[in-house]
């Protein structure tokens, strides 16, 4: 097998699942326990993998365009790559019919057979009927941010790519079995009346990367702009750090290149053609779609259905995914922006067939834990338009429903109640929802939602923490109010939302889910403190 400048390092000892020791973030331990702090990336610029029990999908880019078709070696199998851009610098690799729960040896080679990087490993998930005893997930939201905005003085700043990567390294140092990045990987809003002038429509941004909404996203000037606007937020953050950690990327409003705003001047969602193609192109180049799951309908919106002719394995899904880990856990991931409708009392955030899938999985009995992961947060409001709730910021600085929220749809709240009721009704399971979007770290028990009484079995709502938010992006700064429980709910806040950067580690056993919250404040904490972050709050949830 071809090798690069360095020999493959031997396997190191993995971290014990139940312990969270202080370790050096220079040694990042991927899923499967191979510690390779000096792994040779060779010609690879970024590499993000995902896996199911029998498939692997990898998105990769290279420092230079490749002549010929590269291939991924999976053991003795050779899998030709599929080009995803127009220049030959971005490729994806898929392998199917793999053995579940197995550490697979991987390598990338060029069309001439030369090694493109050092070999590495990636582990498939356990088979659906397996009974693993442990699962660890790293979860965060809002990881995007472009260094340009701080330099341009737009009023919106993000943590630099170097600081965001340092937080990511700390999260990875706890050896998660998988990573969930919940939305807002890109901030380059173009039309939103309030956000766009500070982001993608700012004069400095327009001079740096200008898009033509009437032209295709890939090919020509739009592709060059995408590499600057999106690529410089994603590639410097991830690089090849997650090569041995399956990732699950969920998209939200900013990933469609706009903030969710609604005024008489502009209503930004549902996404128009340009927004859809921008989100799809970003996903196509940088991070994996969701792999098929036998319990998820193949024809959900945005799915690559099996009946479509294709030279590659089909069944990929853009917006609705499953992280299935044997019979221990099933994590349901869903984007609420893509299928949003404006139909008053019958309006929805997720299409009816998606709602049906979510409720069916909540009612199924074969998995110990089912966790709901939407891109938009149940449990709290910041008075913004594209929320589940009708609350507006009142003159007293509190959320109120005294005045109608312009362009808000009552059907969204009705769907919220149906979904929350399906979680609360799960027999024996913990009703748990972990969301993104709100730029905060928080936890609470939803005891009532409208006329629905959950007091006997409250829905646990969690905000896992934003990785990249900084000046101007916190709800209290941009909207004048931080995350608060809406009037529709009775919320017991076990952790009132905190506007600080951070992430969450989730540990699953057959009987428990343990949540460990991490935070870091750039105004008060030294950068070096990131390398030894420990949880400031731990919550153990137990099945009934």
Residue 493 confidence (pLDDT) above 70? yes
Per-residue confidence (pLDDT) for residue 17, from 0 to 100:
31
Count of residues for the chain? Answer: 544
* Residue 42 tokens, joined: 């060779």
Structure tokens at 122: 């990636």
pLDDT grade, residue 270 (50/70/90)? very high
18 pLDDT above the threshold of 50: no
Residues with Cβ within 8 Å of residue 278, at least 6 apart in sequence: 211, 217, 226, 256, 257
Contacts of 118 (CB under 8 A, 6+ apart): 3, 4, 6, 8, 36, 39, 40, 41, 42
- Indicate whether 344 pLDDT > 50: yes
Task: Copy the structure tokens of residue 477.
Answer: 């700064």
| Phi (first) and psi of residue 483, to 5 degrees | -70, 125
What integer pLDDT is reported at residue 370 of this predicted model?
A: 98
- Three-state DSSP state, 330: strand
How far is the C-alpha of 183 from the C-alpha of 188, rounded, in Å? 14
This prediction has a pTM of 0.93
pLDDT of 33? 36
For residue 208, how many other CB atoms are within 10 A of its CB? 17
Q: Can you tell me which residue has the tokens 């090798």?
A: 3
Q: Is the pLDDT of residue 478 over 80?
A: no
The whole-angstrom separation of Cα 532 and Cα 518 is 11
- Alpha-carbon distance values, 269 to 223, 259, 379, 446 (Å): 23, 9, 22, 28
Confidence band for 544, pLDDT divided at 50, 70 and 90? confident
Question: Can you tell me the mean pLDDT for 206-224?
Answer: 96
Report all structural domains of the chain as residue ranges with CATH numbers, in order of start: 1-6+43-124 (2.60.40.10), 129-186+246-254+287-542 (3.60.21)
pLDDT of the residue at 30: 42
- Tokens representing 29 are 């331990």
Lowest-confidence region among 9-23, 99-113, 397-411, 517-531 = 9-23
Residue 540's nearest CA partner among 504, 506, 502 is 506
What DSSP letter does each residue of 396-417 carry, written as one string? TSSEE-SSPPTT--HHHHHHHH
The band of 4, judged by pLDDT with boundaries at 50, 70 and 90, is: very low
CA 267 to chain centre: 25
User: Sorting pLDDT into bands at 50, 70 and 90, what band is 309?
Assistant: very low
Q: Which stretch of 45-59, 272-286, 384-398, 461-475 has the lowest confidence by average pLDDT?
A: 461-475
Residue 477 has pLDDT above 90, yes or no: no
Model pLDDT, residue 215? 97
5 pLDDT band, cuts 50/70/90, is very low
* CA atoms within 13 A of residue 380's CA, in its CB half-sphere: 31
In this prediction, residue 472 has a pLDDT band, given cuts at 50, 70 and 90, of: low
**Residue-wise pLDDT tens digits, 156-182:** 889 999 999 999 999 999 999 999 999
Describe the crossing of helices 231-238 and 221-229 by its angle, rounded to 10 degrees.
50
Tell me the two tokens of residue 399. Answer: 């959320």
Q: What single string gives the DSSP state of each residue in 40-62?
A: --TTEEEEEEEE-SS-EEEEEEE
pLDDT, one tens digit per residue, over 402-440 is: 999 999 999 999 999 999 999 999 989 999 999 999 999
Over 157-201, what HEC string results? CECCHHHHHHHHHHHHCCCCCEEEEECCCCCCCCCCCCCHHHCCC
Nearest CA to 50 out of 228, 242, 232 is that of 242
Task: Give how far Cα 139 sits from Cα of 110, 204, 255, 368, 528, Å.
Answer: 34, 32, 18, 20, 22
User: Looking at the predicted structure, is the pLDDT value of residue 366 above 90?
Assistant: yes
How far is it, in rounded angstroms, from Cα 459 to Cα 433? 7
Note the Cα 534 to chain centre separation in Å: 22
Of the pLDDT bands very low, low, confident and very high (cuts 50, 70, 90), residue 313 is low
**pLDDT tens per residue across span 138-149:** 999 999 999 998
Q: What is the pLDDT of residue 20?
A: 54
Mean pLDDT calculated for residue range 216-231: 96
- Sequence-distant (≥ 6) Cβ neighbours of residue 455 within 8 angstroms: 447, 448
Higher per-residue confidence, 281 vs 476: 281
In 3D, which of 63, 26, 25, 23 has the Cα closest to residue 41? Answer: 63
- DSSP letter (8 states) at residue 270: S
**Mean of the per-residue pLDDT values of the chain:** 90
Assess whether pLDDT exceeds 90 at residue 12: no
pLDDT tops 80 at residue 508: yes
Judged against a pLDDT cut of 60, whether residue 320 lies above it is answered with yes
pLDDT of residue 197: 93
């Amino acid at each position: 097998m071809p090798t690069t400048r360095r020999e493959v390092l031997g396997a190191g000892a993995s971290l014990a699942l139940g312990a969270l020791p202080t370790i050096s973030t220079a040694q990042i331990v991927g899923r499967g326990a191979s510690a390779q702090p000096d792994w040779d990336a060779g010609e690879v610029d970024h590499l993000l993998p995902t896996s199911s029990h029998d498939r692997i999908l990898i998105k990769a880019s290279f420092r230079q365009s490749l002549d010929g078709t590269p291939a991924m070696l999976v053991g003795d199998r050779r899998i030709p790559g599929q080009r995803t851009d127009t220049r030959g610098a971005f490729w994806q690799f898929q392998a199917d019919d793999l053995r579940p729960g197995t550490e697979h040896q991987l390598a990338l080679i060029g069309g001439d057979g030369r090694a493109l990087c050092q070999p590495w490993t990636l582990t498939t998930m356990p088979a659906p009927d397996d009974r693993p005893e442990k699962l660890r997930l790293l979860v965060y939201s809002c990881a995007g941010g472009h260094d340009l905005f701080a330099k341009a003085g737009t009023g919106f700043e993000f943590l630099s790519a170097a600081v965001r990567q340092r937080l990511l390294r700390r999260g990875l140092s706890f050896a998660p079995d998988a990573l969930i990045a919940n939305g807002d990987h890109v901030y380059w809003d173009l039309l939103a009346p309030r956000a766009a002038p500070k982001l993608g429509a700012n004069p400095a941004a327009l001079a740096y990367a200008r898009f033509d909404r009437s032209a295709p996203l890939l090919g020509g000037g739009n592709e060059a702009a995408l590499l600057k606007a999106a690529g410089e937020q994603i590639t410097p953050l991830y690089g090849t750090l997650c090569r041995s950690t399956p990732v699950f990327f969920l998209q939200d409003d900013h990933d469609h290149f706009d903030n969710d705003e609604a005024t008489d001047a502009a209503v930004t969602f549902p996404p128009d053609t340009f927004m859809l193609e921008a989100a799809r192109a970003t996903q196509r180049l940088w991070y994996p779609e969701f792999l098929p799951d036998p319990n998820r309908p193949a024809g959900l919106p945005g799915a690559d259905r099996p009946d479509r002719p294709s030279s590659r394995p089909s069944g990929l899904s853009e917006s609705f995914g499953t992280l299935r880990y044997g019979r221990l856990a099933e994590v349901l991931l869903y984007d609420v922006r893509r299928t949003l409708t404006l139909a008053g009392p019958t309006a929805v955030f997720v299409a009816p067939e998606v709602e049906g899938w979510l409720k069916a999985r909540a009612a199924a009995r074969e998995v110990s834990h089912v966790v709901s992961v939407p891109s938009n947060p149940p449990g709290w409001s910041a008075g913004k338009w594209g929320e589940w709730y009708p609350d507006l910021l009142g003159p007293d600085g509190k959320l109120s429903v005294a005045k109608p929220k312009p362009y808000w749809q009552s059907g969204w709240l009705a769907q919220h109640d149906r979904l929350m009721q399906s979680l609360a009704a799960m027999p024996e399971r913990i009703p748990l929802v972990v969301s993104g979007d709100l730029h905060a770290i928080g936890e609470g028990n939803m005891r009532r939602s409208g006329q629905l009484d959950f007091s006997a079995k409250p829905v646990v709502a969690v905000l896992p923490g934003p990785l990249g938010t900084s000046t101007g992006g916190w709800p209290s700064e941009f909207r004048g109010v931080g995350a608060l429980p809406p009037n529709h709910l009775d919320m017991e806040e076990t952790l009132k939302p905190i506007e600080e950067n951070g992430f969450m580690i989730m540990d699953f056993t057959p009987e428990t889910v343990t949540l460990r919250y991490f935070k870091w404040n750039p105004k008060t904490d030294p950068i070096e403190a990131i390398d030894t972050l420990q949880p400031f709050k731990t919550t153990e949830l137990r099945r009934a």
